[in-house]
């Protein structure tokens, strides 16, 4: 007597367990949150004139040095790095679902649902805490990535190079701030003229201002934010080859990217850094070209940072490689950074919450008096605090609150 074999149904959709995650991407996410913190914190200062790269102009002696350092290492480098990891993560998600037997229509719905919820999280963050939210931008671009995630390498290359061109153009437009600041007879633009929410006297007024600012930012994504597709597509390409999951096998390529990309990133930031230090003076005509160079080499620098991190945590075969039964979890420092990387959404939102409390007029009000150097110190301390909290959550085997909420929204109640 024979019976027909019943097909095994695919496992229910579920997020990747923390213990099965690749180490290098999580370490990179944890580290880049420091760059995001120091790049974002100047936007919480108000009542100042804005100079190069929209940085507040102050009389503090240390501020030019801090601005130059952040411009060299973090500005236009941290968000492309995170965008690369975002594209990498989406491709990992699709690969995992295919391995679990999930059909493409269901996997596509999962990707669309995840990005839609990311937009919702971005709206809450942008309106309630920080007008410069990037979550909504990533979610909106993530919807476009769903259309490309199964495209050929040739198609990805074409779209990637076109979006890289947009990235360069946006950098040039950012550099026009110098030209605009001198349009009124050499009078610089006050920060309140561009970012009303930072100096709003009450929280309800700040929310109303941020609602308009965040909405304008989201409407501009098809123009300005489109450049971030370039590092996202690079991340998708790298994920197809499992480069960050198996860094030891790709150490030569990673070494070339890090060895060539890091000097390019630093040299490309040099004109802006020297101008911020006052060593050179960029004319209103030259500033857009310097900013364009800064943005273009920043995308290269973001990829170089990821390559360097992958080499450090896994270049000798000691990092976690997904699917390897003998994989090791890395050293204690790597695990601590990875703990924050696994909870990067919570860490990112915590930064904005702390900055609002510390700098807003309806908080401690330090945004009116703190120098850029002092604000940057607060940003570093905030990042260190999130690092410690993430380590404690990891020790207790707990996810971050924002991650828990996002996973519950995307996957529903797990059985």
Answer whether residue 13 is part of any domain: no
Mean pLDDT of 22-43: 94
53, 291 in Cβ contact below 8 A?
Answer: yes
For the chain, give the mean pLDDT: 86
Lowest mean pLDDT among 67-71, 225-229, 297-301: 225-229
What per-residue confidence (pLDDT) applies to 401?
96
Q: CA-to-CA distance for 153 and 264, rounded, in angstroms?
A: 25
From the CA atom positions of the chain, what is the Rg in Å? Answer: 22
What per-residue confidence (pLDDT) applies to 100?
86
What per-residue confidence (pLDDT) applies to 271?
94
Token duo for residue 300: 């290269």
Predicted confidence band at 284 (pLDDT cuts at 50, 70, 90)?
confident
Q: How many domains does the chain have?
A: 1
Answer whether residue 27 is part of any domain: yes
Cα–Cα distances (Å) from 207 to 49, 110, 180, 402, in that order, read 23, 31, 27, 21
Percent of the chain with pLDDT over 90: 62
What per-residue confidence (pLDDT) applies to 193?
45
Long-range pairs, 147-154, Cβ under 8 A, ≥24: 148/233, 148/236, 149/90, 149/91, 149/94, 149/111, 149/236, 150/94, 150/104, 153/237
Token duo for residue 382: 């905030």
Percent of the chain with pLDDT over 70: 85
Q: Which domain holds residue 48?
A: 18-407
- Tell how far CA 108 is from the center of its chain: 23
Winning range, highest mean pLDDT, from 282-296, 302-316, 398-412: 398-412
**Per-residue buried b or exposed e for 302-337, using 16+ beta carbons within 10 Å of the residue's own CB:** bbbbbbbbbbbbbbeebbbbbeeeebeebeeebbbb
Cα–Cα distances (Å) from 205 to 201, 211, 214, 364, in that order, read 7, 10, 14, 17
Lowest mean pLDDT among 113-117, 138-142, 145-149, 223-227: 223-227
Mean pLDDT of 328-350: 89
Tell me which of 222 and 372 has the higher pLDDT.
Answer: 372
Residue 184 has pLDDT above 50, yes or no: no
What per-residue confidence (pLDDT) applies to 331?
84
30, 345 in Cβ contact below 8 A?
Answer: no
351, 379 in Cβ contact below 8 A?
Answer: yes
Residue 169 has pLDDT above 90, yes or no: no
Answer whether residue 42 is part of any domain: yes
**Per-residue buried b or exposed e for 157-173, using 16+ beta carbons within 10 Å of the residue's own CB:** eebbeebbebbbbbbbe
What per-residue confidence (pLDDT) applies to 194?
55
What per-residue confidence (pLDDT) applies to 195?
62
What per-residue confidence (pLDDT) applies to 14?
55
Answer whether residue 161 is part of any domain: yes
Predicted confidence band at 316 (pLDDT cuts at 50, 70, 90)?
low
Answer whether residue 4 is part of any domain: no
What per-residue confidence (pLDDT) applies to 257?
95
Tens of pLDDT, residue by residue over 219-255, are: 888 777 788 899 999 999 999 999 998 888 999 999 9
By DSSP bridging, strand 49-50 and strand 56-57 are antiparallel
Lowest mean pLDDT among 26-35, 189-198, 209-218, 290-299: 189-198
Tens of pLDDT, residue by residue over 92-132, are: 999 998 888 889 999 999 999 999 999 999 999 999 999 99
Winning range, highest mean pLDDT, from 12-16, 98-102, 378-382: 378-382
Lowest mean pLDDT among 19-23, 123-127, 246-250, 341-345: 19-23
In a 10 Å sphere around its CB, with 0-12 CB exposed, 13-18 middle and 19+ buried, how is residue 338 labelled? buried
Predicted confidence band at 405 (pLDDT cuts at 50, 70, 90)?
very high
Residue 326 has pLDDT above 60, yes or no: no
Answer whether residue 35 is part of any domain: yes
| The pTM of the whole model exceeds 0.75 | yes
Residue 145 has pLDDT above 50, yes or no: yes
Token duo for residue 10: 């695919």
83, 225 in Cβ contact below 8 A?
Answer: no
Q: CA-to-CA distance for 178 and 284, rounded, in angstroms?
A: 5
Closest Cα to residue 356, out of 373, 374, 340, 379?
A: 379
Residue 191 has pLDDT above 60, yes or no: no
Lowest mean pLDDT among 38-52, 214-228, 254-268, 270-284: 214-228
Sign of CA dihedral 334, 335, 336, 339: positive
Q: CA-to-CA distance for 12 and 25, rounded, in angstroms?
A: 25
Predicted confidence band at 407 (pLDDT cuts at 50, 70, 90)?
very high
Closest Cα to residue 87, out of 106, 113, 115?
A: 115
28, 85 in Cβ contact below 8 A?
Answer: yes
Answer whether residue 248 is part of any domain: yes
Residue 313 has pLDDT above 60, yes or no: yes
């Amino acid at each position: 007597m024979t019976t027909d074999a019943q097909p095994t149904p695919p496992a229910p959709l579920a997020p990747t367990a923390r213990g099965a995650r690749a180490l290098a991407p999580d370490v990179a996410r944890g580290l880049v949150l420091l760059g995001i913190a120091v790049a974002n914190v100047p936007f919480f200062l108000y009542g100042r004139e804005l100079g190069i790269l929209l940085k507040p102009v102050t009389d503090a002696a240390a501020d030019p040095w801090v601005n130059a350092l952040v411009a060299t290492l973090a500005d236009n480098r941290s968000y492309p790095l995170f965008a690369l990891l975002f594209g990498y993560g989406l491709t990992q998600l699709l690969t995992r679902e295919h391995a679990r037997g999930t059909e493409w229509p269901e996997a596509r719905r999962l990707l669309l649902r995840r990005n839609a919820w990311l937009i919702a999280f971005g709206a809450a963050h942008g309106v309630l805490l920080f007008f410069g939210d990037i979550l909504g931008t990533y979610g909106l671009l993530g919807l476009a990535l769903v259309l490309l995630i199964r495209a050929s390498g040739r198609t990805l290359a074409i779209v990637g190079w076109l979006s890289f061109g947009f990235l360069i153009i946006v950098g040039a437009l950012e550099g026009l701030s110098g030209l605009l600041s001198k349009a009124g007879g050499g009078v610089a633009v006050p920060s309140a003229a561009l970012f009303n929410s930072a100096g709003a006297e009450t929280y309800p007024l700040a929310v109303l201002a941020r609602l308009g600012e965040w909405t304008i930012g989201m409407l501009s994504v098809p123009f300005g934010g489109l450049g971030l597709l370039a590092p996202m597509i690079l991340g998708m390409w790298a994920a197809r080859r499992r480069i960050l999951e198996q860094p030891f096998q790709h150490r030569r390529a990673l070494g070339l990217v890090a060895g060539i990309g890091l000097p390019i990133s630093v040299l490309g930031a040099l004109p802006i850094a020297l101008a911020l230090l006052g060593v050179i003076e960029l004319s209103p005509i030259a500033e857009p070209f310097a900013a364009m160079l800064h943005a273009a080499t920043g995308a290269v620098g973001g990829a170089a940072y990821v390559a360097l991190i992958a080499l450090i945590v896994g270049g000798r075969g000691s990092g976690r490689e997904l699917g390897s039964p003998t994989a090791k979890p890395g050293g204690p420092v790597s695990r601590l950074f990875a703990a924050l990387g696994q909870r990067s959404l919570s860490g990112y939102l915590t930064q904005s919450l702390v900055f609002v409390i510390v700098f807003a007029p309806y908080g401690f009000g330090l945004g009116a008096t703190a120098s850029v150097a002092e604000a940057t110190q607060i940003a570093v301390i905030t990042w260190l605090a999130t690092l410690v909290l993430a380590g404690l959550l990891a020790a207790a085997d707990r996810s971050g609150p924002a991650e828990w909420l996002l996973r519950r929204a995307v996957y529903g109640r797990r059985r």
